[in-house]
Every structure is written in C-alpha cells, then in structure tokens.
Amino acid sequence: MAKVFGHIEGHPVGSRYQRRKELSEAGVHAPLRGGIHGNSREGADSIVVSGGYPDDEDHGDVIIYTGHGGQENKRQVSDQDIKDPGNAGLVQSALEGNLIRVIRGASGDPKHSPASGFRYDGLYRVESHRSKTGVGGYRIWQFRLVAADVSDEDGVTPFHGDTTHEPAPRHPVTIQRVIRKSAVTQLVKQLHNGRCQMCDQVLLVPGDSHYSEGAHIQAIGQPYNGPDVLENVLCLCPNCHVLFDYGARYLTDDLHIVDGVTHEEIGKLRTHRQHKIDSRYVRHHRGRWVATD
C-alpha cells in the first residue's frame, strides 16, 4: 500500500473508529495488523499506539514508541531488529521529516487513550530514536514522537500526495535539519577551522568561507540531556553529522570511528590539543546504537 503522508481528507483530528477495519478502509492506518505502516524505502505514515509494548510511554504531545518485533504471545522473547520494515520506516520518516498519523487505541495509557475503539490524534514527527534494553531484557528500538505544531506553516504543513506521483502540493514545504549553535559549537568549529573531525573534509565556498556543523555527541534536549560543553561537541561536515546522529557512525572510547551498519572500524577521529573529548559522552552516544559494553 502506498504511503500517504498527512491528514486524510474527511478524517479530522478526533475522528473515532470502532475497529481496525474502519481505520484501514479510511486510509488513516492502512494495515489490518501491526502498529506501524511503513518500510525503509517510503518511510512510515501512520502508527497505532495501543500499549502493546511495556516500554511505551505516552505523555500526550510526546510519545516514546517502541518499535516492532521480538514478541510472542505478547511477551518479548528476542531482540528487535532496526531492519524490520516498520522500524526502518520510522527511521526513514525521521530522515525525511515526514509527519506520521498517530491513532490511539483503548488499550493504551488511559490518561491519553479513548475509552473504546480508536481515535485519530493528529500528526507527529519522529524527533529521534535509539535502542536500549527493554523491561523484558531484550534490545528494543524506541522512537520519540512529538506532536507537530500545525500552526507553524514551515515544515509541518500537512503534506498530501503519496510518494507515487500523486498530484504535487502547490508549494514545496520546507523541512529543516536542525543544527544547534552556541558559543561552544562556534569555538569547536574555529579550533578545527571547519575541518570535519571524521572525514577531514572542509566545505570551502567562494569568499574564503567554509561550512561545518557543531555536533553534540550526547544529544542535547529530551530525553538525552547532553551538556553544551566543549568535551561533548564535534566539528563535522553535514554528511558525517547526519551519519553520526542516526547511528551510522559511532566512536570507541579511544576515538576510533566505527561504521554503524557493518560495525567495522573505518578510521580515527582527528583531535586537537585544546579540544578534549569526554568518553562519557562517547559511551552515551554509542549506547543508543549498540548493546552497552
């Protein structure tokens, strides 16, 4: 089934459904089974939140959503795989900035769930994801979903049109790669003269200017709460920044760079004597992507 991002016409926020079949026929959540409608190629366009995983947390505008897989008879019996189509779909939607329809079912957290059946609760974006050992003792994947502010026209305008040549929206919407900036990130970029600490590239542009990004190792903001200090920031090119933020690169304690897909060492982080890296932050970042060592 093609993915359709954004609101479904005729199904405003708050719409109620008795059965999964109605949700499916409406196109609000297409599959009859499974909490995530998605795959790695197209992304995910909708999820059902219904308390199926004990590590789920529903805070209303923020949902910590556990990925799919590893359960038998509603018990976790094995690790979840990020390559599971639903999980990979949520990763792809995070990368694309796609908005995801959230449907809550009656068996979810009573504080935010309908008393019976299902309710369409609007659009959320995937702010970040990580893996961790769940309460069942197995590795799970978790996605932090944040309610999209639909009053903010940039980036969150409901985006109709699926990925298979449906009518284009009249105006391209803007999505953003968010880059945190502070005196600390500025200083790190200066110490490295804008040269990427991973791939050694400098993006030079006419005018003798260059572009680089300050990347926090332990992410700042919820739920990671890393500090904005020199020891927690890298100077990276945008490509390595994307790879680092999505777990395609992580660091060993002695600052070797590891490919997060193959888990092979592919180089060593270039350092600067005035810019020490604290291995606590390195371990925190690595812990999001590989089983804690």
- Provide the binding-site residues for its own copies, judged by CB under 8 A: 40-41, 82-83, 87-88, 91-92, 95-97, 154, 159, 161, 163, 165-169, 171-187, 190, 201, 203-211, 220, 228, 237-239, 241-243, 246-248, 260-261, 289
- DSSP secondary-structure letter at 31? -
Q: Which is nearer to its own copies, 182 or 252 (CB)?
A: 182
CB of 285 to its own copies, least distance (A): 13
Three-state DSSP at 240 gives helix
Q: Which is nearer to its own copies, 146 or 187 (CB)?
A: 187
DSSP 61-118: SEEEEE-S--EETTEE-S---TTSHHHHHHHHHHHHT-EEEEEEETTS-TTTS-SSSE
CB of 40 to its own copies, least distance (A): 4
Q: Which residues, listed in sequence order, are joined to residue 265 by a DSSP beta bridge?
A: 258
Between CA 165 and CA 169, with CA 166 as vertex, the angle to 5 degrees is 110
| Torsion of Cα atoms, 27 then 176 then 228 then 142, to 10° | 20
Q: Which residue has the tokens 């050694």?
A: 200
Residues 288 and 131: their CA atoms lie apart, in Å, by: 5
CB of 25 to its own copies, least distance (A): 24
CB of 103 to its own copies, least distance (A): 22
Name residue 141's amino acid: W
CB of 193 to its own copies, least distance (A): 9
Q: Which is nearer to its own copies, 119 or 125 (CB)?
A: 125
Residue 67: both structure tokens together: 């990925």
Residue 285 sits at φ, ψ, to 5 deg, of: -60, -45
- For residue 89, give the H/E element and its range: helix 85-96
Nearest by Cα to 99 from 3, 171, 241:
3
Residue 104: both structure tokens together: 């809550």
- For residue 122, give the H/E element and its range: strand 118-133
CB of 206 to its own copies, least distance (A): 5
Q: Which is nearer to its own copies, 154 or 254 (CB)?
A: 154
Q: Which is nearer to its own copies, 114 or 247 (CB)?
A: 247
Q: Which is nearer to its own copies, 29 or 129 (CB)?
A: 129
Q: Which is nearer to its own copies, 23 or 94 (CB)?
A: 94
CB of 94 to its own copies, least distance (A): 8
